[in-house]
Structure 1
């Protein structure tokens, strides 16, 4: 066996376990190459493993390996271990429960009406410093990440909204019919809740407020005043925590994907048309209102022009699929999350779309070649430096126009919709 990138004995042993189970009594060799570009992944590293079976170049197996950073300071600053434990929980426990529950209702994974839009996980490791996730290589099935600098089409958006609707629907149905299966997930402590006492992160988030205000032009005084008034009420943590706290959002809290931006959704295209999508990166999976996923995706992944033309249609698309899937699973949507309740919750919690966009849009508008060196950034923060978007390397001449335009548009829309 050979590897271009070396692994330690624990992770190599896990890989051999997977391959021996998949190819019993076969000889195989593999090599490993980095699979992610600079700036694509902030919590860990992604590698592609190429496996050749019985020296047959035509019989190849590919899989993805996700590892946390080994740099101790970066691990700490980017909260790598808790995020890997969260994603392992998703693959090892939550998604299998979803799959089994749907099967008991006669909805098989091959059924397009099922919630099945995630990668198959082969193995996870959760020991400290040896965390790892092995999963199927979706690129080998012609899935790819959509270029975040291009505009999603209505077909892309509709597909994603239906996927999130099915995810939330199956969560509601399990809570309704098999509540004991959900007890463990009700106690998930959100990543933001875990980090609420991080003083340096708190400073960074307060700087995000200033950057966001700066995106609203002076001649747009009414929107600026409204945003300023909203920000002055509380700290960033105090604004966001009630919106994502599962216990505060009962009885309408569900398992949410959590990190709903372009780089975490893969699409398959055939004949220039999008046919399927998959959700990846469950590292911020949370127990919260379904509005969290919905607003995050809409305000971080679509343009203002798109929202102006399609906002109500997006809401209708989401709720129609949600309603249908809850019924397929044998529960009554009016009792669990009626359309009136959905509309009310959107008004009460729509501000989460702004708060999460404030975090992700600087990253989403940063081109690969301009992404910051995360080890250097981590060491800078560890040394006690407080930073803003410019200091962190997420805002520069290369992306200031795109960031300012998109952030301003989110602010205008969230205010005009009455969410703040």
Structure 2
């Protein structure tokens, strides 16, 4: 990762126009295995604002320093999508909640100080780690307290979409009119990501060959043949939709703890593939990426917790709790949770890999194929353990 102090200083001067004599100090950066589609620099800055000195701890996210990558990967589309979330979507959500005087609104995203477009695309955020937030260890499933905290925030976030559409339909339609990252990327069935998913499903089938019943394994393997159809139907889906997060794996949640080490707040990061879609996509992606075997055995209670939090927050926002009935929610889960189940075959490789094994997720396709996920995980025992629980849960609940 290249660090150009002059370049970063220029970015920050554009974001903090009220500061002069800015001094920038690099305090860290993202590492291979963190799973971010860009470079992240952690910096401390201070400067003069009139007669006073101001200082900030920041996370500066920029597109990769690679001409080849910028040419062959859709990085600008991803960055533009995240900029739109911070410049338009989230401010609208904040205003909508403020107008209704909520005591505990959804606010679980880092503060964004500014965005820049050019040869490189840049977003500047508060550095949450300096406020005591930290990542959960990606190699371990989250505890139930962590899971329920994330579920609560997703329920609140999704409910804001529904209430906004219900009460201010014209504002909502204007907000989401062009908010479709997959449309911007193209809707080609030859998308190399689909082939990557098919290969990952097959790889997990082979890995679990001696660990699960053959009937269960055959159900899992059948997913491979349904991926193209599922994604085609998902892209044309016209059912119950909200603005989603889209990238719901471990490293996109930072937690804040009380004095007894209980998680009490979560901040959700990386909104590059946020879009209008079914809330089940977020929910299934998160559950099958982050929960333990014990909690997967308690899947129905977790889903009930989400729906209860969703309807409760919806009524606080002033809309009817009947806008997404329980039966419809569980029907949608039965039909669409394959999304998270499929992606678990990729996510679990990243979660169980050592740093030196982990892929560069921004690596461009080679010969039309994503090669970033073609790597070996040394800790096969851990990978088997995580995937066995997921496949078993999916089969037991008739989701595959």
CA separation in 2, counterparts of 1:374 and 1:261? Answer: 13
How far off its partner does 1:347 sit?
A: 1.0
CA contact (8 A) 1:208 1:389 kept: no
- Tell me the distance in 1 between the aligned counterparts of 2:270 and 2:10: 24
2:219 to 211, 217, 226: 226
Report what 1:136 is aligned to: 126
Q: How many residues align?
A: 393
The answer as to 2:81 corresponding to 1:90 is: no
> CA–CA distance in 2 between the matches of 1:77 and 1:409?
36
Query: Match of 2:165?
Result: 175
Check 1:146–1:344 CA distance in 2 against 1; reply closer, same or farther (3 A cut): same
Partner residue of 2:284?
295
The answer (yes or no) to whether the contact 1:216–1:223 under 8 Å persists in 2 is no
Matched, 1:286 2:279: no
Q: In the alignment, which of 69, 72, 81 is matched to residue 64 of structure 2?
A: 69
2:76 is aligned with 1:81: yes
Alpha-carbon distance in structure 1 between the residues aligned to 2:370 and 2:278: 31
**2:257 aligned residue:** 269
* Aligned mate of 2:202, from 210, 232, 241: 210
Q: Secondary structure at the match of 1:65?
A: strand
Aligned-partner Cα distance in 2 for 1:213–1:202: 17
Evaluate the alpha carbon distance shift between residue 150 and residue 210 of structure 1 in structure 2; reply closer, same or farther with a 3 A threshold: closer
Deviation at 1:388, TM superposition (A): 6.5
Q: Give the SS at the match of 2:134.
A: strand
Structure 1: 5+ residue stretches without partners: none
Q: What CA distance in whole angstroms lies between the structure 1 residues aligned with 2:48 and 2:117?
A: 31
Alignment match, 1:121: 112
Question: Which of residues 52, 64, 69 is equivalent to 2:46?
Answer: 52
Tell me, in whole angstroms, the C-alpha distance in 1 between the residues paired with 2:331 and 2:79.
Answer: 34
Counterpart among 36, 46, 53 of residue 30 in structure 2: 36
- Aligned pairs for 1:228-243 (under 5 A) are 228-232=221-225, 234=226, 236-243=227-234
Give the Å deviation of 1:49: 1.7
Deviation at 1:355, TM superposition (A): 1.5
Alpha-carbon distance change, 278 to 45 in structure 1, aligned in 2, over 3 angstroms: same
Q: 6, 13, 17: which is aligned to 2:14?
A: 17
Distance in 2 between residues matched to 1:275 and 1:47, nearest whole Å? 26
Distance 1:202 1:96, change over 3 A: same
Are positions 1:400 and 2:380 aligned together? Answer: yes
> Alpha-carbon deviation of 1:33?
4.5
TM value normalised by structure 2: 0.90
The 10-residue stretch of structure 1 (94-103 or 343-352) with the greater mean CA deviation from structure 2? 343-352
Please, which runs of 5 or more residues in structure 2 have no aligned partner? none
Larger RCO (alpha carbons 8 Å, 6+ apart): 2
Q: Greater shift after overlay, 320-329 or 406-415?
A: 406-415
Which whole-Å CA distance do the structure 2 matches of 1:120 and 1:389 have between them? 30
Deviation at 1:275, TM superposition (A): 1.4
* Secondary structure in 2 matching 1:260: coil
Instruction: After the TM superposition, list the runs of 4 or more consecutive aligned residues in structure 1 that deviate by more than 6 angstroms.
Output: 387-390
Task: Please name the residue that 1:414 is paired with.
Answer: 394
Shift of 1:217: 2.6
Give the deviation of 1:374 after TM superposition: 6.4
How far apart are the structure 2 equivalents of 1:4 and 1:373?
18
- Coordinate RMSD, CA, aligned: 2.7
